[in-house]
Amino acid sequence: MSSGLRRQALAAILATQPALARQDQKVRRLAELYGMNVFGEQAMREHLPEAAFKSLQATIRFGKELDPHLADLVANAMKEWAVERGATHFTHWFQPMTGSTAEKHDAFLKISGERLLLEFSGKELVKGEPDASSFPSGGIRSTFEARGYTAWDPTSPAFIREGTNGSTLCIPTAFCSWTGEALDTKTPLLRSMEAINLAALKLLQAIGRRDTRVVYPTLGCEQEYFLIDRNYFLARPDLVASGRSLLGARPPKGQELEDHYFGTISPRVLAFMEESEHELWKLGVPVKTRHNEVAPSQYEVAPIFERSSLAIDHNMLTMDIMKKVALRHGFVCLLHEKPFAGINGSGKHNNFSMATDQGENLLDPGTTPAENMRFVVFLAAVLRAVHVHSDLLRITVAHAGNDHRLGANEAPPAIISVFLGSELTEVVNALVKGTNGGERKGEAAMRLGVSSLPPLPKDATDRNRTSPFAFTGNKFEFRAVGSSQSPAGPNIVLNTIVAESMTWMAGKIAEAERKFGLEAAIQQVTQQVLKDHMTVVFNGNGYSKEWEVEAERRGLPNLRNTVDALSTHDSEKNFALFETYGVFSRTEWDSRGNIAFESYEKAIHIEALSLLETAQTMILPAVLKHQERLAAAVGAARSANAGVDLYVQENLLKEYFELANELIKSLDRLRSLIAKGETIHDGPQHQKARFFRDEIRPAMEKVRGVADQLELQVDDALWPLPKYREMLFLH
């Protein structure tokens, strides 16, 4: 029968629950596991001469330029350390503009006459030359030379990836063209971190703080994901091709009982979590929290926050390792933003703050008046950044997968606003008005940095899940980031816009200080910034219709989908911003926009083709088979001359015929639209992307709507695809 794969999947799952996959590991103690495969501080200390160690640490911690003589020493130390641990190969590990990571392995192998040498030189450590002409470049390639090179990023430690039968030394690198254009996400990220550093130092100095040497952005990525049994996955061509189900009727039970969130974790899922955590700990990824999420079969993992660049490398490793470990447990780990319609999608909450070399969190309200003052100044800078550049933040989360979350009445909305919580909002409003929180009206205007500042809330207790950018006590949580995305894009932009805002405020404070003195200058500028940008603060329900109306009144953009968001990509404001802060050249920023549009078109194209094929070759035959049986049954009833019942049955048949016809017609329409879409060449107006959004997506929805209705009518034994109720609940 046509439902072969589905039947086999079910049979495999129902036969006997496979024994939980156990790790075959000698080391299990957390203290031994943690960082064992990282060439970190301890390994460096052990394998490098004292002076070299110190010099490398200065590069890592304070961004001091790397001493070129160091490279050979470090390469040799790294090789020895790696070979001791069984590594046979090394690779430059980089993050091209595909959104994932890339690697090309070479053995430490050198033959000299008859002799075998294990070699890894400083040159090989510092620079690699992968034949990289097949990575997306967004047009840079056509104007410049095709080849690129990878350059060692000493701020992220090298690590060993263990394979089943061998191990590979991985060296985190940046990836550039020969003419110096960034072809990856790491290069602009590091530039944006430098922008944060310079700007935050300026702002600290402007408020009279000269004791800080380095400021860096910190990041903690909460990663959501789904796990489904691999047998189901393989029986669903849509999941295989696009990572999400393009068909599937809503199950009778979804997430409405709210019985999954924080529920007890099933032993099979826990076995997967434990093994992935072990693997991640070995790589020094500080994963800490695990729990069931809201939707059935949905989970979350969260690490302890780190310096952004490291946190991003670690998030990329987390996604990669989870996918691989899942397979060993007979699962597939789905990172798509919306694998299943009708239940919650997956995000990646991007917790952002800034830290100093003294260990201070600049977004922590602190306990002293001076700390409170510093906090309010940096808070104002972030608010201003988000308000002035909300379109840019929106762009960083715009892609085909995320369109099913943002603006689709699911967490969070496409309007970028900030949640401060009622307590902090009151404090800020009081600051703006120059009153003291209302209680002591009539007193002299409240002054920042003096004890009349009301105690600041240490904890934002009223958490608001509907806000895309929420203050949560001592950090901001950007919740619009999609689960499958590299966190690099959002953080490059976040760093740059906050840097711009801090620089701007530092300038304004310095200017006012000459006239009014330091304290008054800080007070005035901060007050003015808060006053001008409180319109971006919204503490209410972000999903409500009223908010859309209100946001429009406030002039906040509502860029509902990828095409709308990306249409603002190439504005002069954006080019100027990135150029000023040295994060993207014009060519680089332009190329990123092209890639984003291309990826959008390609994603929908693949989905459309997959849907067409699946519906045409799997659903339609089942539908027609059922029709044939139904017609035969009704025919039999007719010849038996069964009276009144016959009317009911004929009606049933008629309605079924209509649905089946609708399916055929909607498939015809989808097929011709795809053919038309394929002929469109994308120009500056992005007609192709618009066509995919306005014509193909709705045509896909139409096919799905009909097919999902039919799923609820066709004989279950004929239905070829694993159903939602099975994938989400039976494993």
Contacting residues toward Mg ion, per CB under 5 A: 222
Residue 474 interacts with ligand ADP (CB under 6 A): yes or no: yes
Strand partners, 292: 299
- Please select the residue that binds ligand ADP; options are 136, 138, 148, 220, rule is CB under 6 A: 220
Instruction: Figure out which of the listed residues 82, 219, 595, 699 binds ligand ADP, where binding follows CB under 6 A.
Output: 219
Task: Considering only residues 140 through 199, tell me which ones interact with ligand ADP, judged by CB under 6 A.
Answer: none
218 is a site residue for ligand ADP (CB under 6 A): yes
Q: Whole-number minimum distance, CB 127 to ligand ADP, in Å?
A: 32
Which residues have C-beta within 8 Å of that of residue 572, sequence separation ≥ 6?
A: none
* Range 340-343 contact pairs with CB under 8 angstroms and sequence separation of 24 or more: 340/226, 340/244, 340/245, 340/248, 340/295, 340/724, 340/727, 340/728, 341/245, 341/248, 341/250, 341/404, 341/704, 342/250, 342/254, 342/724, 343/254, 343/255, 343/295, 343/296, 343/298, 343/728
Nearer to ligand ADP, 399 or 475 (CB): 475
Rounded CA separation 225/335 (Å): 5
Strand pairing of 287-292 and 418-419?
unpaired
Count the neighbouring beta carbons within 10 Å of the beta carbon of residue 327: 14
CB of 349 to Mg ion, least distance (A): 6
Looking at residue 180, the DSSP 8-state letter turns out to be S
Q: Is 355 left (phi over 0), alpha (psi -120 to 50) or beta?
A: beta
- Nearest CB to ligand ADP, comparing residues 354 and 721: 354
CB of 148 to Mg ion, least distance (A): 37
Measured from the CB atom, the residue of 154 and 220 that comes closer to ligand ADP is 220
Task: Pick what 205 binds: Mg ion, ligand ADP, none; C-beta below 5 to 8 Å, kind-dependent.
Answer: none
> Toward ligand ADP, which CB reaches closer, 91 or 156?
156
Q: Which C-beta is closer to ligand ADP: that of 338 or that of 479? A: 479
Among 289, 544, 571, 617, binds ligand ADP (CB under 6 A): 289
SS3 state of residue 144 = coil
* Window 300-329: contact mask with ligand ADP (x via CB under 6 A): --xxxx------------------------
Measured between alpha carbons, how far is 343 from 298 in angstroms, rounded to an integer?
10
Which one of Mg ion, ligand ADP, none interacts with residue 277, CB within 5 to 8 A by kind? none
CB nearer ligand ADP, residue 491 or residue 527: 491
Give backbone dihedrals phi and psi of 106, rounded to 5 degrees, phi first.
-130, 140
- Binding partner of residue 42 among Mg ion, ligand ADP, none, CB cut-off 5 to 8 Å per kind: none
Rounded to the nearest whole angstrom, what is the least distance from the CB of residue 300 to Mg ion in the complex?
6
- Beta-bridge partner residues of 173: 152
Q: Which does 353 bind (CB under 5 to 8 A by kind): Mg ion, ligand ADP, none?
A: ligand ADP
The nearer residue to ligand ADP, 133 or 289, going by C-beta atoms, is: 289
Shortest CB 222 distance to ligand ADP, Å: 5
Q: Which of 92, 475, 626, 688 binds ligand ADP (CB under 6 A)?
A: 475
CA dihedral 307, 313, 318, 320 (to 10 degrees): 170
CA 412 to chain centroid? 14
What does 289 bind: ligand ADP, Mg ion, none (CB cut-off 5 to 8 Å by kind)? Answer: ligand ADP
474 interface partner picked from ligand ADP, Mg ion, none, CB below 5 to 8 A per type: ligand ADP
How many CB atoms lie under 10 A from the CB of residue 637? 17
- Kindly list the distances between the CA atom of residue 331 and the CA atoms of 15, 266, 326, in Å, as whole numbers in the listed order: 16, 13, 5
- Residue 417 DSSP symbol: -
Residue 49: exposure state from Cβ atoms within 10 A (0-12, 13-18, ≥19): exposed
Residue 498 touches ligand ADP, criterion: CB under 6 A: no
Question: Which one of ligand ADP, Mg ion, none interacts with residue 640, CB within 5 to 8 A by kind?
Answer: none
Among 361, 524, 528, 541, interactor with ligand ADP by CB under 6 A: 361
Cβ atoms 511, 391 nearer than 8 A: no
Is the Cβ of residue 30 or residue 304 nearer to ligand ADP in the bound state?
Answer: 304
Q: How far from chain centre, in Å, is Cα 200?
A: 25
- Judged by beta carbon, residue 223 or residue 594, the one nearer Mg ion is 223
Helix runs in 68-184, H state only: 70-84, 122-126, 140-143
Residue nearest to ligand ADP (CB): 220
- Beta-carbon contacts of 84 under 8 Å, excluding residues fewer than 6 positions away, are none
Burial class (CB in 10 A: 0-12, 13-18, 19+), 546: exposed
Cβ nearer to ligand ADP, comparing 477 with 711: 477
Q: Which stretch binds ligand ADP (CB under 6 A): 214-222, 648-656, 662-670, 672-680?
A: 214-222
Q: How far is the CB of 302 from Mg ion (least distance, A)?
A: 6
State in angstroms the smallest separation of the CB of 237 from ligand ADP.
Answer: 35
- Within 517-561, where are the H helices? 518-533, 545-554
Element (H, E) at 407: none
Least CB distance from residue 32 to ligand ADP, whole Å? 23
* Residue span binding ligand ADP (CB under 6 A) among the ranges 74-82, 296-304, 534-542, 560-568: 296-304
Q: Taking the chain, what is the end-to-end CA distance rounded to the nearest angstrom?
A: 23
How far apart are CB 509 and Mg ion at their closest, in Å? 36
**Among Mg ion, ligand ADP, none, residue 191 binds (CB under 5-8 Å by kind):** none
> Strands 331-334 and 215-229: what pairing?
antiparallel
For residue 182, report the phi and psi dihedrals to the nearest 5 degrees.
-70, 130
- Is the distance from CB of 138 to CB of 585 less than 8 angstroms? no
Which does residue 710 bind out of Mg ion, ligand ADP, none, counting CB within 5 to 8 angstroms by kind?
none
Which of 175, 226 has the CB closer to ligand ADP? 226
Distance, in Å, from the CA atom of 285 to the CA atom of 221, rounded to the nearest integer, reads: 12
Distance, CA of 483 to CA of 486 (rounded, Å): 8
Extract the tokens encoding 359.
């260990």
Contacts for 19 with CB less than 8 Å, ≥ 6 apart: none
Nearer to ligand ADP (CB atom), residue 478 or residue 656: 478
Taking CB under 6 A as the criterion, which residues in 341-360 touch ligand ADP?
349, 351-353
Picked from Mg ion, ligand ADP, none, the partner binding residue 475 (CB below 5 to 8 A depending on kind) is ligand ADP
Q: Note the residues at the interface with ligand ADP (CB under 6 A).
A: 218-220, 222, 289, 302-305, 349, 351-353, 361, 474-475, 477
